[in-house]
């Protein structure tokens, strides 16, 4: 693999409305290095990829690239083209087939460009990504989300480009697909840059680049190393904040003592005049000199105090994580049989999804619904919630359950957070609704934000506030791929919130690192292997 690198120096980007999205972004990726680009949603990660690719022009700064780049976008064009065309080999593959059919046009041989092993390469790559059958001229738009993602990944690894860039590549992959992708990444000798919040993928990379509006910070290790560094940085910042608060307290004390002494001297001067020790003219002159001296010292002291308080505030902002505190429930969570499914049979048409499926779940239990794309995970949730009825068998949900889907669509986008909390919690008072949202990081006017204007992390916190922010909490929470649209910090917030919640939990997730962090005790697969 020839040397290939990315070098970004002093990059800034200004949005069309004049707002600076980020500035002073500098980093280097050397040949064969594999790094992740992380950061809060909306900070500009996808924009930075476009700048590196050369699709848009920076407001300032330079991007230097050695070697070609192949980019996998976060969302694919789903127009009616063949899989081969998406892979970039449609013309070559058609030329090969015509040559195999005894056509001898010279243009066909030029189109092949010596890639006589293309079909074999496609077959091997398709097998590597878990395709049982592979039809290169199938309509790409008719594939499932997971299949489309795999085709786009195949395109990356079939490319001759020495630099590969991915934007959230694992969002639509099931657990098996993710493992296949992880292995491809680990075994690749190419230079790789990936935007991702997938904890297990981040564990396998050489470095993490955290983007913020003020620039980029490089962590020279994997996800565990990053979290350790962040914890160390937080401890250092907390110590700094404590020291600054102590200094502000000391300066305040000195200021009060200075004012007290000045007042004492003024009283002593008046007393001296009254006792005729000094004339009023002498006393006034001495008082003016003393006041000028005190005023000068106070000005210096006030400037130091203001600067110290400013640094306390800024350090506090840097420490401010979007953590939340779940209140205690108004009543104990159900401990008995929360959910009972007995010999459930369900299918669509001739396709059987569940055949004699049984499940018993007790209160407080934590369960992960696992399995490949299309094995019936969402169908199982809809049966549990009563949205679907089994063909035979019984489903009994014996307590209140709340379902949060991938889009977090529980909240009404056209209403404010405050209105949503009131609507979803019968009888809650206005002041209590404000208090709930403040506890989840939405203070004062932030509580009146329209839901449709929220970022992914804000929407998560708002949804959790509506469901878990009052003592009237459900006995069962059900999540469907909750981390798909979250940034790394929002995933940490969700993990922390669900560790506090003491009710039962059902999570559909391909994110093993997230499932492990929650301590999910059981794995259930609706359809037995090959699911």
d(CA 405, CA 273): 82
Given a contact cutoff of 8 angstroms between Cβ atoms, the answer to whether 479 and 501 are in contact is no
Averaged over 290-306, what is the pLDDT? 79
Decide: 340 and 494 in contact? Cβ < 8 Å.
no
Nearest to 166 by CA among 192, 186, 198: 192
For residue 277, pLDDT over 60 is answered with no
pLDDT higher than 80, residue 261:
no
**pLDDT > 90? residue 186:** yes
How are strands ordered across the β-sheet holding 20-29? 20-29, 5-14, 60-66
Q: Backbone dihedral region of 39: left (phi > 0), alpha (psi from -120 to 50 degrees) or beta?
A: left
Q: Report the 3 state secondary structure along 128-154.
A: HCCCCCCCCCCEHHHCCHHHHHHHHHH
Kindly give the pairing relationship between strand 5-14 and strand 60-66.
antiparallel
Contact 96, 112 (CB under 8 A): yes
Any idea of the CA torsion for 278, 281, 284, 290, to the nearest 10 degrees?
A: -70
52 burial (CB, 10 Å; 0-12 / 13-18 / 19+) is: buried
User: Is the model's pLDDT at 183 over the cut of 70?
Assistant: yes
User: How many helices (H) does the chain have, and how many strands (E)?
Assistant: 16, 17
Q: If pLDDT is split at 50, 70 and 90, which confidence band does 102 have? A: confident
The whole-number pLDDT of residue 271 equals 61
Angle value at C-alpha 344, between 389 and 382, nearest 5 degrees: 40
- Does the structure show a pLDDT above 70 at 207? yes
Sort residue 154 into left (φ over 0), alpha (ψ -120 to 50) or beta. alpha
* Residue 442, pLDDT above cutoff 60: yes
d(CA 260, CA 266): 10
Handedness of CA 309, 315, 321, 326 (dihedral sign): negative
- Give kind and range of the element (H or E) at residue 497: helix 488-500
Cα separation, 401 vs 390, whole angstroms: 19
DSSP classification of residue 527: S
Report pLDDT for 273. 53
pTM: predicted TM-score of the whole model, two decimal places:
0.72
Residue 95: pLDDT band by 50, 70, 90 thresholds? confident
Structure tokens at 452: 């449709």
CB atoms < 10 A from the CB of 439, how many?
Answer: 17
User: CA-to-CA distance for 190 and 203, rounded, in angstroms?
Assistant: 18
Q: Compute the average pLDDT of residues 275-292.
A: 57
Counting other chains too, the contacts that 305-308 makes at CB distance below 8 Å and 24 or more residues apart are 305/248, 305/251, 305/252, 305/255, 308/244, 308/247, 308/248, 308/251
Whether the bond into 530 is cis, omega within 30 of 0: yes
Residues 526 and 355: their CA atoms lie apart, in Å, by: 9
Residue 123 belongs to what H/E stretch? helix 118-128
Given a cut of 70, whether residue 75 has pLDDT beyond it is no
Pairing, β 60-66 against β 207-212: unpaired
- Torsion over CA: 293, 299, 300, 305 (sign): positive
Task: Identify the pLDDT of residue 288.
Answer: 61
Contacts of 80 (CB under 8 A, 6+ apart): 139, 140, 141
The answer to whether the beta carbons of residues 37 and 202 sit under 8 Å apart is no
Cβ-defined contacts of 429-435 (< 8 Å, 24+): 432/470
In this predicted structure, what is the pLDDT of residue 269? 56
Q: By 3-state DSSP, what share of the chain in percent is helix, strand and coil, each rounded to 5?
A: 45, 20, 35
526 has a pLDDT exceeding 80:
no
Q: What is the pLDDT of residues 455-501, one digit of tens each?
A: 777 888 899 999 998 888 899 999 988 887 778 888 888 888 888 88
- Map tokens 């997938």 to a residue: 198
pLDDT band at 265 (very low <50, low <70, confident <90, very high): low
pLDDT in tens, 322-381: 567 788 777 777 778 899 999 999 988 888 888 899 999 998 899 998 877 777 888 899
């Amino acid at each position: 693999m020839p040397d290939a690198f990315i070098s970004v120096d002093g990059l800034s980007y200004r949005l069309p409305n004049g707002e600076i999205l980020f500035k002073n972004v500098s980093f280097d990726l050397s040949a064969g290095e594999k790094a992740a680009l992380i950061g809060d949603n909306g900070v500009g990660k996808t924009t930075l990829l476009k700048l590196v690719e050369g699709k848009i022009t920076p407001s300032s700064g330079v991007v230097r690239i050695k070697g070609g780049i192949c980019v996998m976008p976060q969302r694919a064009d789903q127009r009616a083209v063949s899989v081969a065309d998406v892979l970039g080999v449609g013309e070559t593959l058609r030329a090969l087939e015509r040559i195999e059919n005894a056509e001898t046009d010279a243009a066909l041989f030029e189109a092949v460009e010596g890639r006589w092993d293309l079909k074999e390469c496609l077959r091997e790559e398709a097998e590597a990504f878990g395709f049982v059958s592979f039809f290169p001229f199938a309509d790409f738009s008719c594939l499932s989300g997971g299949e489309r993602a795999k085709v786009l990944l195949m395109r990356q690894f079939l490319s001759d480009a020495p630099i590969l860039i991915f934007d959230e590549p694992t969002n639509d992959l099931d657990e098996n697909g993710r493992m296949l992708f992880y292995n491809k990444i680990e075994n690749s000798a190419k230079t790789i840059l990936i935007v991702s919040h997938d904890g297990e993928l981040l564990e396998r990379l050489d470095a993490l680049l955290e983007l913020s509006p003020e620039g980029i910070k490089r962590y020279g290790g994997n996800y565990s190393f990053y979290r350790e560094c962040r914890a160390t940085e937080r401890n250092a910042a907390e110590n700094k904040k404590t020291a600054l608060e102590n200094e502000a307290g000391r300066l305040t004390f000195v200021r009060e003592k200075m004012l007290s002494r000045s007042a004492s001297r003024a009283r002593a001067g008046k007393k001296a005049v009254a006792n005729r020790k000094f004339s009023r003219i002498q006393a006034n002159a001495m008082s003016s000199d003393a006041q000028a001296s005190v005023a000068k010292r106070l000005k210096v002291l006030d400037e130091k105090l203001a600067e110290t308080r400013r640094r306390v505030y800024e350090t506090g902002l840097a420490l401010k994580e979007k953590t939340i505190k779940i209140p205690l429930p108004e009543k104990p969570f159900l401990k008995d049989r929360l959910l009972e499914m007995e010999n459930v049979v369900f299918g669509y048409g001739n396709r059987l999804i569940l055949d004699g499926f049984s499940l018993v779940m007790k209160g407080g239990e934590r369960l992960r619904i696992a399995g490949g794309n299309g094995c019936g995970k969402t169908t199982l949730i809809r049966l549990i919630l009563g949205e679907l009825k089994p063909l035979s068998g019984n489903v009994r949900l014996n307590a209140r359950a709340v379902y949060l889907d991938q889009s977090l669509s529980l909240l009404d986008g056209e209403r404010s957070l405050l209105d949503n909390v009131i609507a979803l919690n019968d009888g809650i008072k206005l002041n209590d609704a404000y208090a709930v949202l403040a506890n989840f990081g939405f203070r004062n006017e932030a509580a009146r934000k329209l839901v449709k204007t929220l970022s992914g992390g804000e929407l998560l916190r708002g949804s959790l506030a509506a469901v878990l922010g009052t003592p009237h909490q459900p006995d069962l929470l059900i999540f469907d791929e909750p981390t798909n649209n979250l940034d790394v910090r929002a995933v940490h917030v969700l993990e922390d919130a669900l560790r506090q919640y003491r009710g039962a939990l059902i999570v559909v997730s391909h994110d093993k690192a997230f499932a492990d962090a929650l301590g999910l005790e059981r794995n259930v697969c609706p359809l037995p292997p090959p699911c």
